[in-house]
Structure 1
């Protein structure tokens, strides 16, 4: 059986990596809730999910191959399909043993069910938190878990720390029947996307939209409207999606951020981001709202 992600999503809440994409099969729980006993292994080698070569795709269950990692370093994250699930980082240099495969969860079509893909993304964010929260930011003291929570407490200065989710905005600008699309040099050849950026001190989300567009493209906008959000656990962002209308300015790209950019009519679009992203969801929603046949766009 071949698993393909949906070509479109009726709501951004249903996008991959949002919790609703895996709630039917997964129940999040903090490490202290580990019931013990055998269970599933969420093995992540960077953004690659290490799993058995099986149909349908599934997580490794039972004994952990000794060469992959030390099971004592695993973090219990909850129940997957009613059984304990523990996340564990695998060294990027580790060769994957026979009968196992490593699937890139950021591939446009990773060949995984939506729920399993989203679980891997969640695990990636949790492992990032585990790696970056070993020592206190205030005094470099060793951190210990707060029972029943994901937060940690410094054993020296007593400071409390909680998982850090970084807010970002992403915006689709409209000018009549045209959309503002841009390219980063590291993206696949020919693929365009949307302007995005992190929220800075003292900004609300709408102010970030205005600043990022001006910095990266020189474009002024009006009618900024929030549309929805997506968890982006690579490693720990929340993407707040907006649309806006063109107001003034000519495109002047920020050279150290973008390599190309321009206005594209909605019936003649370039290669777009994969359907799993809020960038594509914003584009598709705008096309549908404009009552333009979505089959005329290039995917």
Structure 2
């Protein structure tokens, strides 16, 4: 159901552009209690109605899930109706009439708007689970009216959603690209070097450091291309293209299973097209 190409990283799944016509995001709070739609997540699976096209569960929660309703979080409105998010344990059975679609799957069998709504719901629920207590004093946190932030009554500290920036970089030299592989990925799949920012770094500095640490390769001319929200659970992937500036491949075995240069006309299995890694490969090397 996803397009084969994206005109820019802005339109990649999980970015707000994909849901802006349907979702009006609102901070947690009462929503009047009227019937609405449900973004129900079981791990990384979004539960949708059976049939084509897939749709969200509407109205009251299925009877099997009714006891969990107090744990639901308001997301805002979806097509003008109240929209609520609810997390289930992975062991929860599927209520009749609903099917599970994994939003992290290479081919998730969901349109881009529902896929992206599942990502938003996952990020919000992750923040709610991880923001019950103050990291400074251990006191209980309370929502700040009209915001996504929370405040600690005992010590006064303010806390806001934690978004973790990462740099991901396509490294090129004439006729070749540098690709890496982690052991837990599907067999034969390779992707790009990526990593989290460290204290004091710019995104470009993080890109260069990660490439050097993981592969022993030095890079130059690091150029920003675009970014993608990556709600697994709360990353922002900033995509770059860079040129080879020296060094031989030395695999950092704590991080990677393999790293090597591949000819652009003989590439291995690549990341799904829903990712900024694939966008960089598709748009910044010839013949992919």
TM-score normalised per structure 2? 0.97
- Residue 236, structure 1, aligned to residue 234, structure 2: yes
Q: Which moved more, 1:50-59 or 1:224-233?
A: 50-59
Q: Which moved more, 1:27-36 or 1:40-49?
A: 27-36
Question: Quick one: distance in 2 between partners of 1:189 and 1:100?
Answer: 31
Question: Quick one: distance in 1 between partners of 2:15 and 2:30?
Answer: 22
Whether the 8 Å contact between 1:42 and 1:88 is mirrored in structure 2 is: yes
Question: Quick one: distance in 2 between partners of 1:34 and 1:193?
Answer: 42
Question: Quick one: distance in 1 between partners of 2:29 and 2:93?
Answer: 31
Shift of 1:92: 1.2
Whether the 8 Å contact between 1:180 and 1:261 is mirrored in structure 2 is: yes
Other-structure match for 1:77 = 75
Shift of 1:33: 5.7
Shift of 1:39: 0.3
- Residue 8, structure 1, aligned to residue 25, structure 2: no
Other-structure match for 1:135 = 133
Other-structure match for 2:208 = 210
The structure 2 residue matched to 1:180, chosen from 178, 181, 193, is: 178
Aligned pairs for 1:154-233 within 5 A = 154-233=152-231
TM-score normalised per structure 1? 0.93
- Residue 255, structure 1, aligned to residue 253, structure 2: yes
Question: Quick one: distance in 2 between partners of 1:53 and 1:122?
Answer: 22
- Residue 64, structure 1, aligned to residue 61, structure 2: yes
Shift of 1:99: 2.0
Instruction: Say which SS state the counterpart of residue 283 (structure 1) adopts.
Output: helix
Other-structure match for 1:52 = 49
Other-structure match for 2:279 = 281
User: Could you list the runs of 5+ residues in structure 2 that have no partner in the other structure?
Assistant: none
Shift of 1:240: 0.5
Question: Quick one: distance in 1 between partners of 2:81 and 2:13?
Answer: 22
Shift of 1:54: 2.5
Whether the 8 Å contact between 1:168 and 1:240 is mirrored in structure 2 is: yes
Question: Quick one: distance in 2 between partners of 1:222 and 1:233?
Answer: 30
Q: What is the count of residue pairs matched by the alignment? A: 287
Other-structure match for 2:102 = 104
Aligned pairs for 1:83-102 within 5 A = 83-102=81-100
Whether the 8 Å contact between 1:33 and 1:148 is mirrored in structure 2 is: no
Shift of 1:140: 1.1
Q: Which moved more, 1:177-186 or 1:25-34?
A: 25-34
Question: Quick one: distance in 1 between partners of 2:30 and 2:237?
Answer: 29
Question: Quick one: distance in 2 between partners of 1:51 and 1:156?
Answer: 41
The structure 2 residue matched to 1:24, chosen from 21, 24, 34, is: 21
Shift of 1:105: 0.5
Shift of 1:179: 0.6
Question: After the TM superposition, which parts of structure 1 deviate over 4 Å for at least 4 consecutive aligned residues?
Answer: none
Instruction: Say which SS state the counterpart of residue 70 (structure 1) adopts.
Output: helix
The structure 2 residue matched to 1:43, chosen from 30, 40, 45, is: 40
User: Could you list the runs of 5+ residues in structure 1 that have no partner in the other structure?
Assistant: none
RMSD: 1.1
